[in-house]
Chain A
Amino acid sequence: MLPFDYQRVETLAEAVAVLGQDPAGTRLLAGGTDLLVFLTDQKLRLGRLLDAKRATDLPGLEVNGALAVGPNVKLRELERHPAVAARWQALAQGASAVGGVAIRNRATLAGNLGTASPAADTPPALLALGARLELLGPAGRRELPLSEFFVGPGRHRLQPAELIRRVLLPAPPPRSGSWYTKLATRQAMDIAFVGVAAALSLAADGTVASARLGLGAVAPTPVEVDLTALLAGRRLDEDALAAAAEAAQVASSPIDDKRCSALYRRAMVGELTRRGLRQALAQAEAAL
C-alpha cells in the first residue's frame, strides 16, 4: 500500500468538511473490504482516509414501519435483524450473499453502494424494495432515489464531499413479499453471474397490486424494472411470469466476461425473475 493519512472524525458534519478540503484525494473508510483491497492492489491512490465509524451522531439501524440504515451498519447485522428478515427479506438475503461472515462483520450497506459495482449483491434488493438515499453534503441534506444513484461501473451521483447518511426503505405494502436470488459458482465468497431481486404486493382479491425487480450483473449499473404497469390487476400465472421475464431481459444489456457469457446471463435473468416472483408471491399470499 502506498502511504496515506488516516483521520478519525467526531461528527458526520466534520466528515463532510474534511472531505471538502480535498474531495478527489479523500475517501470515507467504512468496513474497508473494498477500499483496502483497491489500496493494497494499488488500483487507487489516496491522500487521506477518513474514519467516521465512531462519530457520535451516526444513525444506526432504525425500524419503525419504514427502515433506515446508517453508514456503519454491518451487512451481518442487517442479515441477522429479525424485522429486516421478516419484512424486507430480499435485503436480508442480498446482505447475506456478500462474501463470508468475516467480510460481512465489517462490510457496510453504504460501502456496497459507494463502490457501485454492477454485480454487487445489495443494490438489486434495494431497488426492488424502492430504496431512497439520504445524502449529506456541504449544502446540507437531500434525498435521491437509488434508481438515480448509479452512473456506471464504480461511478455514482454523489457530489464532491457528499456522503450517504442513511439508506431509506418504505414500509412494505400489505400482502407483499420479496426475494433475492444470486447465481454464482460457489455458495459463498463469489461474485454473482446474475442477481435478481423481486418485490411484489397483492390486492385483496389476489391480483398483483405492484411489482418491481432489481437486476445485478446484467448491465453497467444495477437496473430497476418497474413491472406494475405490466402486471397490475393480473394474476401471477405463467403468462404473467413470462411477460415479466421478458421485461427483465429487455432491460438487460449483459456482456461476455471471464465468469460467463452474455447469452447465459440473458437467459438466467429471465429464469431468476420467474423464481423470484414466485417466491415473493408465496410470501404475499400467506398474508391474504
Chain B
Amino acid sequence: MKQVITLQINGQPREVTVEPRTRLLDALRDGLQLTGTKEGCGNGECGACTVLVDGRAVNSCLMLAVEAVGSAITTIEGLAQQGQLHPLQEAFRQHGALQCGICTPGMILAAKALLDEQPRPTRDEIRFHLAGNLCRCTGYQKIIDAVEAAAAALAD
C-alpha cells in the first residue's frame, strides 16, 4: 500500500512515496535521488548506508522510511555548506582517505556523529566508533588520520 510521507532531510521537508516495507535507504536513493547514501550489504554489517537520524549514526538499510517520520535526517548531501566542503570531507580528500568511495559517505557521517559528541577523540575512540563501517580499499589508517585532522580543524 503506497503512501506519501514527509521526511525532514538535511533541514528540508521532503515528500516521498513509500510502502511500509520501503527502507529509509531506498526512500533516499530511489525516492529522492539522494544517491550519496550507498548500499553495501543490506544487512547492517558494512555501514555504507549510514545516515544520521536525530544526530545519531544509523544504518538506513535497517530502518523503515515510515519509522523516520518525525525525525531529522542528515545525509552526505547535507554536509557541504554554500559550496564549501565540511571539514571532514576536506580532511578525507587531503589525506587520501578514500579510493573507490563506496564506504566514504557512511564513514564521514559516522565520524561526524562521533565528533559532534566528542570533539577530540583518541585514535582508539575513532576506531571504536567506526568499527561498524567497513572499507575494502584504504586499509583504514588514512581514514583514522583524516578524522583526527578534521577534529583538529574543527577545534580551531
Contacts and interface: CB of A to CB of B under 8 A. Distances in A.
A160 B141 CA distance: 50
A1 interface: yes
B4 interface: no
A22 to B, nearest CB: 15
A281 to B, nearest CB: 27
Given A99-B132, A102-B50, A36 B20 contact: no
Most buried by A among B70, B128, B131: B131
B19 interface: yes
Contact of A32 (B19, B56, B63, B131): B63
B122 to A, nearest CB: 15
Contact of A100 (B1, B23, B47, B67): B47
Given A102-B50, A189-B132, A5 B56 contact: no
A106 B59 contact: yes
Interface size on B, as a range, is: 20 to 34
Nearest to B57: A102
Contacts of A188: 128, 131-132
A49 B110 contact: no
A6 B62 contact: no
Interface string B6-24: 0000000000000111010
A6 B66 contact: yes
Interface in A95-137: 99-103, 105-106
Nearest to A186: B131
A2 B23 CA distance: 12
Interface of A: 1-6, 29, 31-33, 36-37, 39-41, 49, 51, 53-54, 76, 99-103, 105-106, 187-189
12 contacts: A1-B21, A5-B20, A33-B59, A37-B44, A40-B43, A49-B20, A49-B64, A53-B67, A76-B56, A101-B128, A106-B58, A106-B63
Interface of B: 1, 19-21, 23, 42-45, 47, 50, 56-59, 61-64, 66-67, 70, 110, 113, 128-129, 131-133
- A-B residue pairs, 8 tightest by C-beta: A100-B132, A188-B131, A6-B20, A102-B57, A1-B21, A105-B56, A100-B131, A36-B62
